[in-house]
């Protein structure tokens, strides 16, 4: 019987011929990523070594990546002290893939990993962040874990007790109509599957829409696969994966590209006709509360947020800047833009996008996660409403349980910034 992409990847990783859904495996890890919560990982890591008579050393410093992104620059002495503790640990253990608070190498972990060529097709990649699913866009089996689990990875070099997930095959065909992007596709899919519809499963993306989608769009799809509960999302790697890693991430080594078997067995197959999609909005307070834009347009917005590990890439900033160029953000609405990395920030600066945004009245923030989860800048006031290109709209998400968050694509965010209400880009321009 044939294997899905991730079954095949896991069989290779374990050196076995076959794995079956539900098998529980211990897997060697190719890359272990953490951000500021490495402070807790360090604590748990030292606990594992306590009373063992061993020196607490990580299994392989070259396979660990640590990126400061959640609260940068530190918003409090507590965060600054956590960051200092991590910095000291990185130096003591000799971890080279460390991205500190810096304008040259800094950014959000889920952009830093791809753009620096840390991810390869076939990798087993774990991260102490639920959006680690992002890296399935490059053909990795990538998923989020907790801090104690990561401490065990740092000690042992493997991830213990991973269930071989069943897989939902999503086949998308046709061209996106005007005003529709990868974000609309994944919002539509999360609405279709529901917030728990893919729990303990992979989402494997296929179809000509996916094949012609650049990596920036594939990253969006895999990033938000976790919002349907999925263990991860994955795009079987192809020429575009090769192009991205070579041309944009500077990867020179030979890639091992493989595909799922033609007779692979899937738990479910979902077919989507991209030509029929409309701009989508996820309404408060769950990501699966998704509606076509027509049902919510006209809704007053206090704060627009463009950025995050979901939609803070150069093509996102570009479309927002083009929409706003020569125009103004509506009175009574504020707009925050935070690029996903300093490389993107710099490219957007050189292309003139940032000056267009600033001239239009947007506030361009430094790359980071802060506003998305309400922990650093951009908090909402009581009864305020935000429209964001981020990934979650849970109650309290942007720092205030008395506020509401709607999720959308960058072009919808930009169009709505001009009007101050949720607006359909197909009608406004």
The residues binding another protein (CB under 8 A) are 22, 24, 36-37, 39-40, 43-44, 47-50, 52, 54, 70-71, 76, 78-79, 82, 127-130, 132, 144-149, 151-152, 155-156, 160-161, 163, 195-196, 199-200, 229, 231, 286, 373-375, 392, 394-397, 399, 401
For the bound state, the minimum distance from the C-beta of residue 41 to another protein, rounded and expressed in Å, comes to 9
Give whichever of 7 and 323 is closer to another protein, judged by the CB atom.
7
Q: Record the tokens describing residue 126, joined without a space.
A: 């774990």
Q: How far apart are CA 177 and CA 414, in angstroms?
A: 18
Contact 312, 338 (CB under 8 A): yes
The tokens 């095959």 sit on which residue? 169
Give whichever of 37 and 355 is closer to another protein, judged by the CB atom.
37
The strand ranges marked E within 147-198 are 158-163, 166-173
For the bound state, the minimum distance from the C-beta of residue 26 to another protein, rounded and expressed in Å, comes to 9
Give whichever of 145 and 320 is closer to another protein, judged by the CB atom.
145
Give whichever of 14 and 147 is closer to another protein, judged by the CB atom.
147
Give whichever of 50 and 254 is closer to another protein, judged by the CB atom.
50
For the bound state, the minimum distance from the C-beta of residue 158 to another protein, rounded and expressed in Å, comes to 9
Q: How far apart are CA 140 and CA 352, in angstroms?
A: 34
For the bound state, the minimum distance from the C-beta of residue 397 to another protein, rounded and expressed in Å, comes to 5
Q: How far apart are CA 13 and CA 152, in angstroms?
A: 18
In Å, the largest CA–CA distance within the chain is 68
Give whichever of 156 and 257 is closer to another protein, judged by the CB atom.
156
Q: Record the tokens describing residue 413, joined without a space.
A: 């965010």
The tokens 């009864």 sit on which residue? 383
- Beta strands 201-206 and 97-99 are unpaired
Q: How far apart are CA 189 and CA 64, in angstroms?
A: 32
Q: How far apart are CA 185 and CA 221, in angstroms?
A: 8
For 192, which DSSP code? H
Contact 312, 213 (CB under 8 A): no
For the bound state, the minimum distance from the C-beta of residue 142 to another protein, rounded and expressed in Å, comes to 12
For 53, which DSSP code? T
Q: How far apart are CA 390 and CA 131, in angstroms?
A: 11
For the bound state, the minimum distance from the C-beta of residue 7 to another protein, rounded and expressed in Å, comes to 17
Give whichever of 88 and 163 is closer to another protein, judged by the CB atom.
163
Q: Record the tokens describing residue 172, joined without a space.
A: 């998308």
For the bound state, the minimum distance from the C-beta of residue 136 to another protein, rounded and expressed in Å, comes to 15
Give whichever of 156 and 428 is closer to another protein, judged by the CB atom.
156
Contact 353, 385 (CB under 8 A): no
Give whichever of 151 and 293 is closer to another protein, judged by the CB atom.
151
Q: Record the tokens describing residue 248, joined without a space.
A: 């944009």
Q: How far apart are CA 65 and CA 114, in angstroms?
A: 12
For the bound state, the minimum distance from the C-beta of residue 61 to another protein, rounded and expressed in Å, comes to 16
Residue of 8, 1, 2, 22 whose CA lies nearest to 236: 8
First to last CA, the chain: 52
CA triple 111-234-262, angle to 5 deg: 155
For the bound state, the minimum distance from the C-beta of residue 275 to another protein, rounded and expressed in Å, comes to 31
Give whichever of 148 and 346 is closer to another protein, judged by the CB atom.
148
- Beta strands 158-163 and 24-28 are antiparallel
For the bound state, the minimum distance from the C-beta of residue 191 to another protein, rounded and expressed in Å, comes to 13
């Amino acid at each position: 019987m044939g294997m899905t992409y991730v079954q095949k990847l896991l069989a290779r990783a374990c050196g076995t011929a076959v794995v079956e859904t539900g098998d529980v495996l211990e897997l060697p890890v190719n890359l272990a990523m953490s951000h500021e919560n490495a402070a807790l990982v360090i604590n748990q890591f030292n606990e594992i070594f306590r009373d063992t008579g061993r020196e607490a050393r990580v299994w392989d410093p070259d396979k660990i990546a640590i990126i400061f992104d959640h609260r940068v620059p530190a918003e409090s002495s507590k965060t600054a002290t956590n960051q200092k503790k991590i910095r000291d640990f990185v130096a003591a253990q000799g971890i080279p893939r460390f991205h500190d608070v810096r304008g040259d190498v800094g950014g959000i972990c889920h952009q830093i990993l791809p753009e620096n060529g840390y991810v390869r097709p076939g990798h087993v990649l774990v991260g102490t962040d639920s959006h680690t699913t992002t890296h399935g866009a490059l053909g990795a089996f990538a998923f989020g874990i907790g801090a104690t689990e990561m401490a065990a990875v740092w000690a042992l070099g493997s991830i213990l007790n991973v269930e071989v997930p069943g897989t939902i095959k999503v086949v998308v065909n046709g061209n996106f109509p005007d005003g529709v992007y990868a974000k609309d596709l994944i919002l539509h899919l999360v609405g279709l599957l529901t917030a728990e519809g893919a729990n303990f499963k992979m989402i494997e993306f296929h179809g000509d829409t996916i094949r012609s989608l650049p990596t920036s769009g594939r990253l969006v799809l895999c990033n938000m696969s976790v919002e349907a509960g999925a263990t991860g999302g994955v795009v079987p790697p192809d020429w575009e994966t090769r192009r991205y890693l070579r041309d944009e991430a500077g990867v020179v080594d030979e890639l091992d590209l493989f595909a799922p078997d033609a007779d692979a067995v899937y738990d479910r197959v979902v077919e989507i006709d991209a030509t029929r999609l409309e701009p989508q909005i996820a309404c408060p307070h769950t990501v699966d509360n998704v509606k076509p834009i027509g049902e919510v347009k006209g809704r007053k917005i206090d704060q627009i947020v463009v950025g995050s590990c979901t939609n803070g890439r150069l093509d996102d900033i570009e479309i927002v800047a083009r929409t706003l160029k020569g125009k103004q953000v509506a009175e009574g609405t504020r707009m925050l833009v935070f690029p996903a990395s300093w490389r993107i920030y710099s490219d957007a600066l050189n292309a003139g996008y940032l000056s267009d945004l600033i001239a239009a009245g947007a506030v361009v923030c430094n790359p980071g996660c802060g506003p998305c989860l309400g922990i650093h800048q951009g908090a909402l006031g009581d009864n305020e409403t935000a429209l964001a290109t981020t990934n979650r709209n849970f109650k309290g998400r942007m720092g205030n349980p008395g506020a509401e968050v709607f999720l959308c694509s960058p072009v919808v965010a930009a169009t709505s910034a001009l009007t101050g209400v949720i607006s359909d880009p197909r009608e406004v321009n």
